[in-house]
Amino acid sequence: MATEIPPGIAMPDEVETRLGTLKFFDGFPDEATVDKLYDNLDFQRAVQAYLLAIPAVNQAAMRKALLRWGPANTTMPIWEELVFPRTVGLTFNTSTPYAWMWIDLHDGPLVAEVPPGVLGAFNDHWYRWLLDVGVTGPDEGKGGKYLILPPRYKGEVPEGYFVARAQSYEMFLAFRTFPDEKGDLKPHVELTKQRTRVYPLSQAANPPPMKFVNISPEPFVTVGPGDYQFWDLLNDVVQSEPPYTGDPVTLGFFASIGIEHGKPFAPDERMKQILTEAATVGDATARALTYRMRDKEAFYHESSAWRTAFLGGYNFERNGIKLLDSSSQYYFYATGVTPAMEAKMVGSGSQYALAFVDSNGRPLDGSRTYRLHVPANVPINNFWSVIAYDNQTRSFLQTEQTWPSVTSKDKDFNVNGDGSVDVYFGPERPGDARNFIQTIAGKGWNAIFRLYGPLEPWFDKSWKLGEVELVE
């Protein structure tokens, strides 16, 4: 009754792998091999859990930072005088005031009254987009009342609101205001404080007061840690959100390393060592994915360093497939996600180009001097900017300059005779160059080029941004 076994089914008694020699007795692993395999499995799952958890931990760090200023649902920090480099937060801009607050639906539906003329969105605890508010939202920039319903809400839904059914219980509301025609920030900031209200639906007849905090002058850190503390922040999110608010496979990775809703996170010494190393490797991998992205489709032109942050769109999918690398790099590098950030909106909205290396593919070195040549006729309806960020924190470079940026609306902005612009980066201003961003010797940096109100030549690629070139 014997059957000849085809090759590839049976396991040899010994095999050599990256884990060392694995030993078997007729296919049954010995104890030392079992220990190696489980250590490896736990480590693999921990690294993948880390990469999958970057969005949630990004939000957990944001939650911790915002709640420092007051309770959820009642407190809105505002950068009334723009965001200064003393704010350590992922890739802010230097042109518009931000207003953020933390939202908690555990006690039931909330109403959010949004002022006119803003641009923003709700992003949930797992960092999924819920809906836009303001110019790209259903209020179309006129302002309005949004009713946010918690997961599995079965109560009555009153009329008169823009209604959204949340997938998680906690989230953040973030929007930007804009300078007026004279460049004054104050009118729209004051309108935000007058017209923004968040309150329980049950208190709609008599809303409680809001607290607004100007944090422009304050040191403020919203960037999450990349070491073992990462797991504690992830556990905070998992404990706050029931499993039905998340993705089963992702939650399975978290559970496999001991982070599961309703259960204590209490790794033993072996697992602590694995998680500590996995956090280091996870953070290192996120940096590789961000700074040396290998998917060529992300780049705007062949042989260009400039690339999009949104390979696969705002949900990082292509042909129904999740682009795992693209998702991890985005949430490691940036804050806030909405379709409006990557959609083609000719003459409105914004577009972003990222550069992490120079024209020769070398990391940008704060000890060296570089030039970015911006050709004439930048395809914009409003203005453009270029901002330098710290590779470690993905936040503004902190130098002697007020802001590490050059924008086409700067008072001392200099244009060449042919309409082009040269922007210089370096530890010292080269000669009398007016378009200058200071860098720091010994510190790496990266840049984002923003187009506000991008026009068709940007989308059809008939206009091409110059590269960041080393000045020898």
Q: What is the pLDDT of residue 472?
A: 85
Q: Which residue has the tokens 């909330």?
A: 110
Task: Give phi and psi for 460, each to the nearest 5.
Answer: -85, 0
Tell me if 7 is assigned to some domain: no
User: Are both 125 and 208 inside the same structural domain?
Assistant: yes
- One-letter amino acid identity for 16? E
In a domain, 4, yes or no: no
Q: Is residue 314 part of a domain?
A: yes
286/415 same-domain check: no
- Single residue among 169, 192, 214 that ends a domain in this structure: 214
Residue 63 lies in a domain: yes
Give the per-residue pLDDT at 15: 97
CATH number of the domain encompassing residue 428: 2.60.120.600
Residue 183 confidence (pLDDT): 84
CA distance 210 to 191: 14
Q: Among residues 184, 214, 244, which one ends one of the domains?
A: 214
Range of the domain at 187: 74-214
Is residue 326 one of the residues assigned to a domain?
A: yes
Question: Looking at the domain assignment, is residue 23 inside a domain?
Answer: no
pLDDT of residue 180: 84
Q: What is the pLDDT of residue 179?
A: 87
Q: Are residues 49 and 124 in the same domain?
A: no
The Cα 260–Cα 242 span in angstroms is 9
- Please tell me whether residues 302 and 284 are part of one structural domain: no
436 φ, ψ (degrees, to nearest 5): -135, 135
Whether residue 336 lies inside any domain: the answer is yes
**105 in the same domain as 46:** no
d(CA 228, CA 223): 15
Query: Residue 34 maps to which CATH number?
Result: 1.10.3360.10
**Measured distance CA(222)–CA(172) in Å, rounded:** 13
Residues 153 and 172 in one domain: yes
**Same domain, yes or no, for 187 and 123?**
yes
Hey, CA dihedral for 98, 119, 396, 382, is it positive or negative?
A: negative
Number of domains the chain is built from: 3
Could you tell me the CATH number of the domain that includes residue 205?
2.60.40.1610
Same domain, 370 and 401: yes
Write out the chain's pLDDT in tens, 472 residues.
789 999 999 999 999 999 999 999 999 999 999 999 999 999 999 999 999 999 999 999 999 999 999 999 999 999 999 999 999 999 999 999 999 999 999 999 999 999 999 999 999 999 999 999 999 999 999 999 999 999 999 999 999 999 999 999 999 999 999 888 888 899 999 999 999 999 999 999 999 999 999 999 999 999 999 999 999 999 999 999 999 999 999 999 999 999 999 999 999 999 999 999 999 999 999 999 999 999 999 999 999 999 999 999 999 999 999 999 999 999 999 999 999 888 888 988 899 999 999 999 999 999 999 999 999 999 999 999 999 999 999 999 999 999 999 999 998 899 999 999 999 999 999 999 999 999 999 999 999 999 999 999 999 999 999 999 999 8
Burial class of residue 357 in the structure, from the number of CB atoms within 10 Å of its CB (0-12 exposed, 13-18 middle, 19+ buried) = middle
Looking at the fold, whether 306 and 435 belong to one and the same domain comes out as yes
